[in-house]
Structure 1
Amino acid sequence: MSGIVLHLLRHGVTEAEGRLIGRTDAQPLAEGVAACVARAAGLAVDAVVTSDLARSFVPARLIAAALSCDVREDARWRELDFGAWDGLGFDAIDAEALAAFQADPARHIPPHGEAWPALLARVTEALGTIDRSTLVVTHGGAMRAALATLCAIDFPQLWNIALPHAALLSLRVWPGTPRVGQIIGLVT
């Protein structure tokens, strides 16, 4: 069996650059939308799925129209919820607390925020619904959660994978429980 191709596209730049944005619905900038549309041009997909946040769904709708695909919003592809830190600049967050969170987001959760295992669980659930060649327009955290789930990459190593705005990560995914994937391309 050849598996299906899954493309994960990180949203483009937003009005909230320099801040920690998870559940904050930061608006995409025109250049960020254009970068995503350009990156996805010519992809052979049967469906487009997107986070329900504007920075993802605005470019996703344009991409889906250009590729003549349906688009579906799915909140499970949202970024990690940074709780009380959401929307703050990095300099406004206690440096020690931020460093502890970045080192181990399963144990050092932002106040009223979401733990890494919760993000893993919802992305894993969302991956289970993908049954054909699909482009998912999403966020850096959700992309890393997909890599952790599909490719068994441990959290510390996930930070070694650069996923800048409009990065396109392509994987071949095989059905089954658990689902297994293989990275077939990364364009940054």
Structure 2
Amino acid sequence: MSARIVHLLRHGPPLHSGLLLGHTDMPALNSDCPQMRARVEHLRIDQVVASDLTRAAEQAKILADHFQVPLTLDANWRELSFGAWDGLAAQTINQAALTAFWDDPDAAPPSQGERWSDLRTRVSVALDALATDTLVVAHGGAMRAAVSVLTGLDHRGVWAIDLPYRGLLSLCIWKDGSGQVTGLRT
């Protein structure tokens, strides 16, 4: 059975870290990051796809130019929307509401925010759109959602995975839509 490889690369650190950025469009601290290029130098890819948020899109453009492959921006690869919490530090948010969200992000999403299942749905659509070996520059939440979609792990299982900035996660996806996590480089 043939498979395609999807390499998920988390963007570099944002200009201001320690915030629930979600859909807040903050640039990365350093768009042209030599560590990111070095992390993916060995990959064989046909295209680069990225979240349309600046912290991912700018770095993806540099990588697509480096590999001389097409770049597509796809809003389905955005981070989870934290709604009213977007851009705030966790310690400034009502701790009972934040704890309820982390315990059950479908039953207790942030006000005006997105449910975990909504993120999984849009990332599933994004994964289905990838027909060739691809480098995706995205966010920690979207990467975890991809792992959840392909493996069936719940939010607790995938949030336990450490995905640092510039972390690379490679997935093998078979035609039937099933997947396997093949490696994590941090």
Please report the TM-score for the alignment, with normalisation by the length of structure 2: 0.96
Distance in structure 2 (CA, Å) of the matches to 1:107 and 1:35: 38
Alignment partners' CA distance in 2, 1:186 and 1:33 = 19
The equivalent of 1:104 in structure 2 is 104
- Write the deviation string for residues 6-29 of structure 1: whole angstroms up to 9, x where unpaired: 100111101120111000001111
Match of 2:180 in 1: 182
**1:75-86 map, 5 Å:** 75-86=75-86
Residues 23-38 of structure 1: pairs in structure 2 closer than 5 A: 23-30=23-30, 33-38=33-38
1:109–1:115 CA contact under 8 A, matched in 2: yes
CA deviation profile, 1:63-111 (whole Å, cap 9, x unmatched): 1111111110000000000000000011111111111111111111101
What residue identity is the alignment partner of 2:179? G
RMSD, aligned CA: 1.3
Q: Which amino acid aligns with 1:106?
A: D
Contact 1:169–1:187 at 8 Å: present in 2 too? Answer: yes
Matches within 5 A, 1:74-153: 74-153=74-153
Q: CA deviation at 1:31?
A: 7.1
Q: After the TM superposition, which segments of 4 or more aligned residues of structure 1 sit over 6 Å from their partners?
A: none
Partner of 1:47: 47
Mark the runs of 5 or more structure 1 residues left unpaired by the alignment. Answer: none
Q: Give, as a single letter, the amino acid of the residue that structure 2 aligns with 1:18.
A: G
The aligned length equals 186
SS in 2 for 1:30: coil
TM-score (norm 1): 0.95
Aligned partners of 1:32 and 1:148: how far apart in 2? 30
Tell me how far apart the structure 1 counterparts of residues 164 and 42 of structure 2 sit (CA, whole Å): 21
Corresponding residue of 1:4: 4
SS of structure 1 residue aligned to 2:5: strand
Residue aligned with 1:27, SS: coil
Taking the aligned partners of 1:130 and 1:98, their CA distance within structure 2 comes to 34
Q: Decide whether the 8 Å contact of 1:48 with 1:135 is kept in 2.
A: yes
Q: Which amino acid aligns with 2:57?
A: F
What is the identity percentage for the equivalent residue pairs of Structure 1 and Structure 2?
45
Assess, with a 3 A threshold, how the Cα gap between structure 1 residues 67 and 32 changes in structure 2: closer, same or farther: closer
Deviation per CA, 1:148-180, whole angstroms, max 9, x where unpaired? 11111122111221101011000110123xx11
Structure 2: distance between partners of 1:127 and 1:117: 15
Give 5+ residue unaligned stretches, structure 2: none
